[in-house]
Structure 1
Amino acid sequence: MTVRLTVIGDVLLDVDLVGQATRLAPDAPVPVLEDLTEHPRPGGAALAAWLAAGGADVTLVAPMAHDDAARTLCDLLAGRVTVLPLSSVGHTPVKERIRAGGQSVARLDRGGEPAEIGELTRPAVNALSEADAVLVSDYGRGVTAVPSIRWFLETLPRRAPVVWDPHPRGDRPVPGVHLVTPNAIEASTWVRRTGGTGDYSASSSWARAAHDADTLVREWGAGAVAVTLGARGALLSHGQGAPVAVPAPSAPDLDPCGAGDMFAAAAATLLGAGRMTGEAVRHAVVAATAYVAAGGATSLAISDGAEPASGPGGRYGRDVIAEVQARGGVVVATGGCFDLLHAGHVASLQAARRLGDALVVCLNSDASVRRLKGPARPVVAAADRARVLQALECVDAVEIFDDDTPVPVLRRLRPDLWAKGGDYAGAELPEAAVVREWGGQIVTLPYVDGHSTTALVRAVARSAAKIPELTTRRSS
């Protein structure tokens, strides 16, 4: 059953301006960024909705101003999220991050003034009333402060699970919500706002989080509060008894932007599917960790609305390339479906990595594999294929692409070498002319005989077919 999730809250437009910084300005000790590319993506409640759409049928109810930023947001969400706009007199908030080498150099914010927000429309009321779960993504822009909207939100916990992702500038959650998901700073801020005091004598972040979570469960009348603690995980309190500590899996410490949205979206989806709160929080920690390990907000591939540009556990390929090329290194890229990774794949990837200083794997998306290999493939989903690849020591980044050829992703990455398997030796590849555009080179790797994913799939199918026969023999 597909979960019907309705997200209501404040939307933002986030824009990453990504460039290469190889020198300082002659008139000031600041980096000079060159070859800037612009990457718009949903922010705020729009990001939570976009992320949740990976596992649910998502409707977004949010104020939408009549400006270019709002139109860009709707275009980014089209085909993935159903948008039910509320009237808004004002400007869509826009956050621009200037980034180089995987790091933010500066952030520029505009359009942050309060907006005049209209009432719930009939379609919005229906979407909220009929949802399996509701996520309130409060970014302090005024949605939850509208009296009629707040009154309606107070009726929702009696119908379906409600997850409330709070903001220090926003309004307190309505009584009866199933789960509230502040981070540690937000939790402490809310404890002070409600007239309480933080437990500053506590010896650890876990103890402080437990004190704040217990306090907020009582103050808000919530079913539970999960305080997120970044790379440490989360702490879940029901207001009495020992809280549940949920440690996060180990992962690279990369861009955490949007991790809270991922956590709240995953928890809401699982609650909508009938999972218990503790189970939902455990899975949400894993989902948020995978999201950050994949590069966080910079990993989103909004162009086709399908899958993240880098697989969970991986780095954003463009940042890896910028770092390596900035220090004069050689970046190697290779590509393929890598469905059921086998020894031949590993040998080719290791050989490709030895050709340079970093290896980026361009991975066909699930839709791309189906078009190339047929409806029965892939056997393994793209996110899991990416995780397995990134676990290899020889792989520095994974980029998932949805096209039938890697030409578009190569134009975006511009590696120094494009390495293909030995079975392509002597063939003129369609991407050869593209790689030559920036002075790159295509090479083929030694052929590894006796390894084939297709043969492996057939062998597994033959083995599976024998299982009933073996079971019958044993029972007789």
Structure 2
Amino acid sequence: MTADVRLVRDLVATVDDREPLVVVIGDCILDRWTVGKAERVSREAPAPVVRVTETIAVPGGAANTAVNARALGARVRMVGLIGDDESGRVLRERLETAGVDTTYLVEVPGARTTTKSRVVGGDRVVVRVDELAATPDAHAGARLAGAVARAVRTADAAVVCDYDLGVQPEDVVPVLDRDRPSAVVVDAHDLTRWAALHPDLVTPNSGETAGLLGRDLGAGSARVPVVVDARDEVLARSGARAAVVTLDRDGTVLLERGADQAFRTRATPASEQQASGAGDTFCAAATVALAVRAPLRDAIAVAQAAADVVVREAGTSVCTAAALVESVTAPAATVVDHDDLATAVEAARAAGRRVVFTNGCFDVVHRGHTTYLRQARELGDLLVVALNDDDSVRRLKGPERPINTAEDRAGVLAALACVDLVTVFATDTPIPLIERLRPEVYVKGGDYSPEMLQETGVVRAYGGEVVMVDYVPEHSTTAVVRRIREAAAATAAAAAADAGTDGAAVDTAPATEPDPAP
């Protein structure tokens, strides 16, 4: 699932109305990005020489979670340890500029603030240099516990961000046990450290989940069934009521106690090699949603949409409420011409994404269509739907079709969460478009077999795969149109009878036989 327009709009409006208080507790990091052009290799060592054009410093780690939560409309208090050094001062200033309350930051005299500095040459990170804070002493831990106690009063939600850089469970868990907000989320490298807190939600990535289970999860989409099968073990070891495992380009899997089926979201992968902090954004958005008591699955869907926003940006980025709404309310950008489609498919393939292609008339979209499109989306990372134009529909279906214009049909398909790109074609078959795009998977729904399709030979010739997905009986477009006409005819006949006529002029015959295709 991907968050739909109404869900995102309603959540953003609720957050704006209630202004929930979110407390972020954890390891604060200052992210520095030094950006320039890498034009040659140094004579001193086999390393690129970067001519610097820009240096920026932004909140990272738990501090990035805090600024994302604030950008989404929550009131935010940041609790963490920083040094009394320049990096600490810059980090505090950046947080305050973003609107985060830094009253509860604990400044440790003589300590270093964790800083991660990246040098970017051209389009990639050349090197990252980490300056890590020392493990805090007992006095600093006691001060942190006091800050947590003050910050969580009247809070709607608390999120713990533990990157193994200083924040200790023994300083935080007893405080949250005494004064627990309605939602507690934990994002930690080692979730077992926080099991005693019994979080409402934990957000491990693939590597952290593998560490929690003590075994490899596999690669790509093959990780999904492994994670689903390990639900009870993940929840038991983390002590959590629910866990959402983030699987980068494969989206997320939500594990809930007692749920019959795991809930999934789909990611929108990006090729941006400089992107950082999407996990912080995901965690922030989920926490903000839970702070206004959104259902857990809605919170996860919105969090995925927020993470999709920032992976398209370079550096450590922030998803604002406005950007989140815009990302789900611009379906027109999904409808593209053939040239733009070819460019998008090429970029997706370069990023390692698997392209799925299907086509049809999609005149009156019904449950049969949506079922088969969801199944098609499961087969890859980018679903392209090619739509017959109005003239070709008339040639295929008869002069009374289409019911809806190509523009309307494209707009409806573009609004479906499972559809990534829509294009319109004028030929009777999509073969010319298939030959140009060469999708990895060609999908058809209905009661076809591959041997019935002209496209099968073309796809198999370049090494593609042809897949037939389930047919949903009694859900063809022609059947829907027939039922509408029959209902209209019955109504007209009844009206004619009431008026004393025989209704002989009413046409009750279906236009054509039911069609097995979209």
Cα deviations across residues 423-455 of structure 1 (Å, max 9, x unaligned)? Answer: xxxxxxxxxxxxxxxxxxxxxxxxxxxxxxxxx
Normalised to the residue count of structure 2, the TM-score between the two structures is 0.54
CA contact (8 A) 1:25 1:31 kept: yes
Cα deviations across residues 37-91 of structure 1 (Å, max 9, x unaligned)? Answer: 2111111111110111112111101112211111010011114100111243531
User: Which residue number corresponds to residue 283 of structure 1?
Assistant: 302
CA contact (8 A) 2:248 2:267 kept: no
RMSD: 3.6
Query: Would you say 1:150 and 2:170 are equivalent positions?
Result: no
User: Which residue number corresponds to residue 188 of structure 2?
Assistant: 166
Shift of 1:28: 3.6
Shift of 1:103: 1.0
Going from structure 1 to structure 2, the CA distance change for 1:66 and 1:198 (only over 3 Å counts) comes to same
User: Which residue number corresponds to residue 216 of structure 1?
Assistant: 234
Going from structure 1 to structure 2, the CA distance change for 1:199 and 1:243 (only over 3 Å counts) comes to farther
Query: Would you say 1:128 and 2:152 are equivalent positions?
Result: yes
- AA in 2 matched with 1:151: P
Structure 1 vs Structure 2: percent identity of aligned residues? 28
Query: Would you say 1:72 and 2:90 are equivalent positions?
Result: yes
Q: Which is bigger in relative contact order (C-alpha 8 A, separation at least 6)?
A: 2
1:56-455 residue pairs with structure 2 within 5 A? 56-79=74-97, 80-83=99-102, 84-88=104-108, 90-116=111-137, 117-118=140-141, 119-120=143-144, 124-145=148-169, 147-157=170-180, 159-168=181-190, 171-192=193-214, 197=215, 204-254=222-272, 255-297=274-316, 299=317
Q: Is the radius of gyration larger for structure 1 or structure 2?
A: 2
Ranges in structure 2 where 5+ consecutive residues have no aligned partner: 1-17, 333-339, 341-420, 422-518
Ranges in structure 1 where 5+ consecutive residues have no aligned partner: 314-339, 343-349, 351-390, 392-476
Going from structure 1 to structure 2, the CA distance change for 1:290 and 1:214 (only over 3 Å counts) comes to farther
How many residues are aligned here? 311
CA distance in 1, matches of 2:219, 2:50: 45
Query: Would you say 1:29 and 2:52 are equivalent positions?
Result: no
Going from structure 1 to structure 2, the CA distance change for 1:12 and 1:173 (only over 3 Å counts) comes to farther
Query: Would you say 1:42 and 2:66 are equivalent positions?
Result: no
Going from structure 1 to structure 2, the CA distance change for 1:201 and 1:275 (only over 3 Å counts) comes to closer
CA contact (8 A) 2:220 2:250 kept: no
CA distance in 2, matches of 1:132, 1:101: 43
Shift of 1:277: 0.9
CA contact (8 A) 2:59 2:94 kept: yes
- AA in 2 matched with 1:149: V
- AA in 2 matched with 1:183: N
Normalised to the residue count of structure 1, the TM-score between the two structures is 0.59
CA contact (8 A) 2:81 2:107 kept: yes
User: Which residue number corresponds to residue 10 of structure 1?
Assistant: 27
Going from structure 1 to structure 2, the CA distance change for 1:155 and 1:219 (only over 3 Å counts) comes to farther
CA distance in 2, matches of 1:186, 1:149: 21
SS in 2 for 1:136: strand
Shift of 1:261: 0.4
